[in-house]
Amino acid sequence: MENSVDSYGVPDATLGALRTSPDVLSFSESEMRRLGYLVVDAVVDHIQTVDGRRPTSMAGDDVLTSAVAGPLPSLPSALDANVAALVEVTADYQQHDDHRRFFARVPGPSSFPGILGDWLATGMQSTVSAWQSAPGPSTVEMVVCQWLSEALGLCGTWDGILVSGGSMANLTAIVTARVCNGPGIVYLSDQTHISITRGLASIGWAPEDIRIIPSDSAYRFDPGALAAAVEKDVAAGLRPSIVVATTGTTNTGAFDDLDAIAKISAANGMWLHVDAAYGGPAAMCERGRAQLSGLRHADSLIVDPHKWLFQPFGIGCLLVKRPGCLERAFAMNPEYLADLADGGVNFYDRGLELTRRARAFQLWLTLRTYGREALAGAIDRCMALAEYAQHVIELNPVFRIVTPAQLGIVTFEVLHLTDAGHADVIKRMASEGFAAAGSTVLDGRTILRLCTTNPRTTTDDIRETVDHIAKLADSAAVTMLRPFPTLESS
Ligand code: PLP
């Protein structure tokens, strides 16, 4: 059969598809407003009710399957009902990192300005890739990076970029350090976050060029051991390249001695990267400032606003002291982007993403709305909550503090429980759903850990959670008990 064509020579097959409505994916203005407020209501309901829910998630394969699974839908369905289905699967079937009694791993208490900024970024569909594609949102990102460097007490202008979180920020930093300081040996402590080792592996850093230095008795990077390791490598004809320090380790909140590490780094021509993903925001308040002094020595550092700056998840920041290093590592000039190349900062030249969302909006709105003092006060309260938890734990003789409250983290053990007993307490706590605590391993022993980064947590929440842990420990199975020390074993 012959294909018919119109007077421009366009065949029927093409014209047929063009006869459908261009509005096929659109909603009317009134529907958009009505449906949009459904989501607003769902989020405000969540904020109002989250503390009355379980902080931990429930098992629910059947419910989840009937709510959201099935074959790829071929016909339309009502958006109201579909929004309701998503609310249902998130209400009880996820951990609530923003719950007042969520103390596991690193909680994620968000803030309403942060949520609104995230929505705006999504709705405005900005692409913060080239200066010319988004001079407005690019300016917001530059301002936010500058504000973050001020919050951390840094002087001057550091080059910055926002990425999805700490892991991506660490990876971006390592790549930058290798390009700008050359290959060689990288030095970590045994408390360095796993994202660094995973990042090194993913860019093919040879395992034999990675030194993991045992931390000191307070789980900090041991500068003496670092100096010795560097000296040994230099004597063997190897080249030290990067040292990674941490201010606010994930396990204990320990902060490395940046002054001492920076001296060793500078003396050996190394790049000092500081992972302040977790602890960085504590530099904003008096209680944390001293512990984070020395950040200025870093060649690069990261901070994760979605950990302790009250942000929706998906925002980490890398700051680099020397201008132009990020571009040296990541700049690219594909032919189809040449039209956009001139102008100010092209963020696609500072990291691995090309099409980038406007991550800065949420943090800009948060910093601008609350201002520094209110945020510093909230962080200070969180640090004081960990100190309060330490006192409560110390009052109960079944517990022993393993590491004191540092940057919002306290670790402790139950004297009569084995490693399995500690893990079991956390598991039973999660299944009861009163509070969420976590375990970690230090010196090969499983212990308990509370991270108190939610300023809405009350002292009652802390006391009741510690009492709850004590009760669970008291009812532990006999197989979970440590053997009594005997004269021969003591
Ligand atoms: N660095 C530190 C010190 C962390 O505590 C974490 C996460 O807990 C990360 C990096 C990784 O951050 P993200 O989970 O945002 O990738």
Distance linking the first and last C-alpha atoms of the chain: 96
Checking if the pLDDT of 473 tops 90, the result is yes
pLDDT number for residue 2: 59
Query: Which residue of 200, 215, 278 sits with most ligand 1 atoms within 8 Å of its CB, as the best mutation to test the pocket?
Result: 278
Checking if the pLDDT of 1 tops 60, the result is no
Torsion region of 408: left, alpha or beta (phi above 0 gives left; psi -120 to 50 gives alpha): left
Checking if the pLDDT of 297 tops 80, the result is yes
Q: Which residue has a Cα nearest atom 13 of ligand 1?
A: 166
What atom in ligand 1 is closest to the CA of residue 246? Answer: 3
pLDDT number for residue 69: 94
Contact 251, 215 (CB under 8 A): no
Checking if the pLDDT of 349 tops 80, the result is yes
Contact 129, 348 (CB under 8 A): yes
Checking if the pLDDT of 488 tops 80, the result is no
Query: Which of 22-26, 295-299, 355-359, 362-366 has the least mean pLDDT?
Result: 22-26
Checking if the pLDDT of 179 tops 80, the result is yes
308 lines ligand 1 (CB under 6 A): no
Average pLDDT score over residue span 396-407: 98
Contact 325, 182 (CB under 8 A): no
Torsion region of 101: left, alpha or beta (phi above 0 gives left; psi -120 to 50 gives alpha): alpha
Ligand 1 centroid – CA 489 distance (Å): 40
Q: Which residue has a Cα nearest atom 12 of ligand 1?
A: 166
What atom in ligand 1 is closest to the CA of residue 279? Answer: 3
- DSSP-assigned beta bridge partners for residue 243: 187, 272
pLDDT number for residue 45: 98
What atom in ligand 1 is closest to the CA of residue 168? Answer: 16
Ligand 1 centroid – CA 235 distance (Å): 34
Q: What is the pLDDT of residues 201-245, one digit of tens each?
A: 999 999 999 999 999 999 999 999 999 999 999 999 999 999 999
What atom in ligand 1 is closest to the CA of residue 307? Answer: 15
Distance CA 205, CA 182 (A): 12
108 lines ligand 1 (CB under 6 A): no
Give per-residue burial for 454-482: e unless 16+ CB within 10 Å, then b: bbebeeebbeebbebbbebbeebeeebee
Give the CATH number of domain 372-480.
Answer: 3.90.1150.170
Distance CA 300, CA 297 (A): 9
The pTM of this model reads: 0.97
Residue entry with tokens 């909680």: 107
Q: What is the pLDDT of residues 2-30, one digit of tens each?
A: 579 999 999 999 999 999 999 989 999 99
Checking if the pLDDT of 487 tops 80, the result is no
What atom in ligand 1 is closest to the CA of residue 316? Answer: 15
Let me know the angle formed at the C-alpha of 129 by 173 and 174, rounded to the nearest 5 degrees: 10
Checking if the pLDDT of 388 tops 70, the result is yes
- Among the four given CATH numbers 1.20.1250.20, 3.40.50.2300, 3.40.640.10, 3.40.1260.20, the one describing domain 112-370: 3.40.640.10
pLDDT number for residue 341: 80
Write out the two tokens for 351: 């990291």
- pLDDT band at residue 300 under the 50/70/90 scheme: very high
CB within 8 Å of 339: residues ≥ 6 apart: 132
278 lines ligand 1 (CB under 6 A): yes
Query: Which residue of 106, 171, 195, 202 sits with most ligand 1 atoms within 8 Å of its CB, as the best mutation to test the pocket?
Result: 195
Checking if the pLDDT of 247 tops 80, the result is yes
282 lines ligand 1 (CB under 6 A): no
Checking if the pLDDT of 484 tops 80, the result is no
407 lines ligand 1 (CB under 6 A): no
Chain CA centroid to CA 379, Å: 16
Could you state, in order of their start, the residue ranges of all structural domains in the chain? Answer: 29-91, 112-370, 372-480
Q: What is the pLDDT of residues 54-105, one digit of tens each?
A: 999 988 888 899 889 999 999 999 999 999 999 999 998 999 999 999 999 9
Query: Which residue of 163, 193, 309 sits with most ligand 1 atoms within 8 Å of its CB, as the best mutation to test the pocket?
Result: 193
Contact 402, 311 (CB under 8 A): no
Residue entry with tokens 């925002």: 315
Write out the two tokens for 234: 């230099």
What atom in ligand 1 is closest to the CA of residue 313? Answer: 15
Checking if the pLDDT of 156 tops 70, the result is yes
Ligand 1 centroid – CA 88 distance (Å): 29
What atom in ligand 1 is closest to the CA of residue 304? Answer: 15
Write out the two tokens for 203: 């860019």
275 lines ligand 1 (CB under 6 A): yes
Q: What is the pLDDT of residues 33-50, one digit of tens each?
A: 999 999 999 999 999 999
